[in-house]
Structure 1
Amino acid sequence: MAKQLFTAGTINGVLFNNRAMVAPMTRISASETGVPGEIVQHYYASFARGGFGAVISEGLYVDQAWSQTYAFQPGIVTEEQVAGWRKVVKAVQQDGARFIAQLIHGGALSQANIYRDTTVAPSAVQPVGQQLGFYHGQGAYSLPQAMNSDQIAAAIDAFAASAERAVKQAGFDGVEIHAANGYLLDQFLTDYTNQRTDRWGGDIAARLSLTLEVIKAVRARIGADVILGVRISQGKVNDFHHKWKEGKAGAATVFALLQAAGVDYIHVTEYQAWQPAFSDGQQTFADIAREAAPDTVLVVNGGLDNGELAEAQLAACADFVAIGKAALANHDWPTRVAQGETLRALPDNVLSPVASIKQSEI
């Protein structure tokens, strides 16, 4: 059935067995202090055994200040956290998959931080929506403090230092900077959450500047030969239907600047990847990214629950596809698709980390 999904691919010279990746998904299954244990190891390794060419981790917080986003979220800051990830990485790689660490700073969307009881953001703007109940949040988000220049510099360094720990100490094959879904870097990119008048605010190119500085700092720490990606979206966990007011032109600017910054791949995510990105056009978010960044590997995520949908994106513009919720129900999704087997239905409690492991025990 699939013509491209099960062909090998490369990113920055690193070989991947196929084009199917596990999308990054918050699992909140680490210890209270952010250390991944046996449940986390079993969870990630099962995707490798199930045939995925690569796994992108859930967002790992990057400092002991404001970056932690959820209770029981893993970090990549302390020696104990790094040691825990080293075991998980080894298990995934031994079963044949590449493993990429996604790095996150929650910013204003932090709802359970063991290090701080306050939040920070580009501007003192209260986030829309409510905290996520299935991640132990309750009620409205807190009003964040506007970050000062020292705090911004510290956040940049935290991303870079954690990237170095992830690659050089824990053994990940690469890192992905989470600049999507409403978290800190996306808060700087978004017009209504970024009301700054300094170098970090202004038009969409200026609002992307923090992400570009993080990319620059991370690359300096991990070197040119290590995979470096970035995730970008319009929608957010707290503002699902958000669209960039600058439309296609703004999106093209963002993708062109990311390519110029030297990332090895751009990971775009939409609710349904095949739908038009903006109401006044027919191009998808991925189409615009491909057109604006033709020389950068493109990873596409968004509702690609079966092999046909995944293959269609590869035929259209994607180099790799990232499978999300369907992978939670089918840790062996590539094997089932390759063999033409029926995929398991998504369980009601698929967002539960333990439930997803039990659902797809392989």
Structure 2
Amino acid sequence: MPSSHPALTPTQLGSLKLANRVAVAPMSRVSTAGDGMPTAEMADYYARFAKGGFALIITEGIYLDHAHSQSYPNQPALVSGAQVAGWRRVVDSVHAAGGLIIGQLMHGGALSQHNRHRGGTIAPSAVPPLGEKMAAYGGSGAWALPRAASTEDIAEALSGFADAARRAKEAGFDGVELHGANGYLIDQFLTTYTNTRTDGYGGDVVGRTRFMAEALEVVRTVVGTEYPVGIRLSQTKVNDLEYRWPGGAAEAELIFQAAASAGADFLHLASEGRDWRQTATLDTGVTATALAREATGLPVIANGGMHDVVQARTVLEEGHADVIALGRGALGDRDWPQRVADGQTPSSFVSELLRPDVTLGAECTYRARAGEATP
């Protein structure tokens, strides 16, 4: 029987009208030839989700500049005119298949495993990252000790976000999302133990949100008032699944409001490989996604186990979020919205899809990590 699932109803993110409430979460694929150029296989890969009924696709993390933003070997970029043209082919493929596509703009900060442009890494403070580099992205051993970013480094990073956003608009993306989650640079400024600065970019939560706010502001300035701009946020990180905002709901509310005040049109809350409820519930019992909606009035995307049709229904019907984003579930069923619409049970996720040595048809070799659904 046809389904009446709430995920199949239309909605809006800023000026962006979505045919349904199902998005593909950003999943790093690190499948360029090392030059940052999007490939024809990437265009086919993203278009497959649009053909399967996903209203919105958010790309893997795209690095911004020839400075310190690159995080992984073979990561795509938005720096040169040729890269803009490459992404335009990807965007055109998605549009031809009936979908919309947002480019995710990313600066790795201290969590950079490879940078073909510059040596060393920068971060808010010279604090060694927890854990070790990720083998799924070609890394091994301890992270490099980052250098504390100078005011010039901060200005350079902000310029990178602005320039990449301008190029994303030129490439035809339907909007951009700043990667402020999972332990990368924006998140490093938000996190207490990676940001020990004593200047205006550190200290209390107001200082720690300053870099995030300035990144949103410079992006908004270059793309204009009508172009959709969002930000992805999370408590947990790729190298720390236990971190929670120490101020709980009160701190979360300040972070969300700072993003809204700086010009965000939507908030995307991630759960780094875990079920949404495990990481979404704050100290007051409210979910972070519901609090974000209430505190800002902005639409919110929820990520983490949303391929479960029962949980997806709960999240949408109870007002926890406006849109659901699928990572592993989208890889398992690239036609998840169509299957739900037809009343079919989505497939079980096959972990082999994430192995670096598995290639499926025209799609590139998968190098996404099972839980991250981004960097």
TM over 0.5: yes
CA distance in 2, matches of 1:348, 1:128: 26
Spell out, residue by residue over 1:160-199, the C-alpha distance to the aligned partner (whole angstroms, 9 max, x if none).
11001001x2100000000000000000110000010111
Counterpart of 2:348 (choices 342, 345, 349) is 345
Quote the residue 2:30 is aligned against: 28
Query: In the alignment, what sits opposite 1:297?
Result: 299
CA distance in 1, matches of 2:344, 2:283: 39
Q: Distance in 2 between matches of 1:354 and 1:287?
A: 39
Matched letter for residue 343 of structure 2: G
Match of 2:352, SS? coil
Q: Give a deviation string over 1:215-265, Cα, whole Å, max 9, x none.
A: 000000000111000001000001012111111110111112222222110
Query: Are 2:295 and 1:283 equivalent residues in the alignment?
Result: no
Structure 1: give runs of 5+ residues left out of the alignment. none
The 5 Å alignment of 1:165-244 reads 165-167=167-169, 169-244=170-245
Label 1:149 to 1:62 Cα distance change in 2 as closer, same or farther (>3 A): same
Determine the C-alpha separation between the residues in 1 that align with 2:275 and 2:350.
20
- The question of whether the paired residues in 1 share the 8 Å contact of 2:52 and 2:336 is answered with yes
RMSD: 1.8
Map 1:60-139 to 2 at 5 A: 60-139=62-141
Deviates more, 1:256-265 or 1:209-218: 256-265
Tell me the distance in 1 between the aligned counterparts of 2:275 and 2:191: 21
Ranges of 4+ aligned residues in structure 1 off by more than 3 Å: 275-281, 352-361
Aligned positions of 1:28-47 closer than 5 A: 28-47=30-49
Distance 2:360 2:164 in 1: 27
Pair 52,278 (structure 1): closer, same or farther in 2 beyond 3 Å: closer
Structure 2 counterparts to residues 294-333 of structure 1, below 5 A: 295-317=297-319, 318-333=321-336
Closer, same or farther: CA 214–321 of 1 in aligned 2, 3 Å: same
The one of 6, 9, 12 aligned to 1:10: 12
In structure 2, what is the Cα distance between the partners aligned to 1:106 and 1:282? 32
Aligned residue-pair number: 359
Letter in 2 for 1:305: H
Q: Is the 8 A contact 1:122 1:195 kept in 2?
A: yes
Structure 2, gaps ≥5 residues long? 365-375
Q: For 2:346 and 2:358, how far apart are their aligned partners in 1?
A: 17
State the identity %. Answer: 43
Aligned partners of 2:42 and 2:90 also within 8 Å = yes
Report the CA distance between 1:350 and its aligned residue: 2.6
Whether the 8 Å contact between 2:44 and 2:362 is mirrored in structure 1 is: no
Could you tell me which residue of structure 1 aligns to residue 253 of structure 2?
Answer: 252
Aligned residue number for residue 265 of structure 1: 266
Given the superposition, is the C-alpha separation of residues 356 and 310 from structure 1 closer, same or farther in structure 2, using an over 3 Å criterion? Answer: farther
How far residue 352 of structure 1 moved from its aligned partner, in angstroms, is: 4.1
User: What are the superposed Cα offsets for residues 104-153 of structure 1, whole Å, 9 maximum, x if unpaired?
Assistant: 00000000111122111010001001111011010110000111001100
CA distance in 1, matches of 2:26, 2:199: 32
1: CA distance, partners of 2:309 / 2:222? 37
Distance 2:195 2:308 in 1: 37
Deviation of 1:285 after TM superposition, in Å, equals 1.6
Distance 1:331 1:123, change over 3 A: same
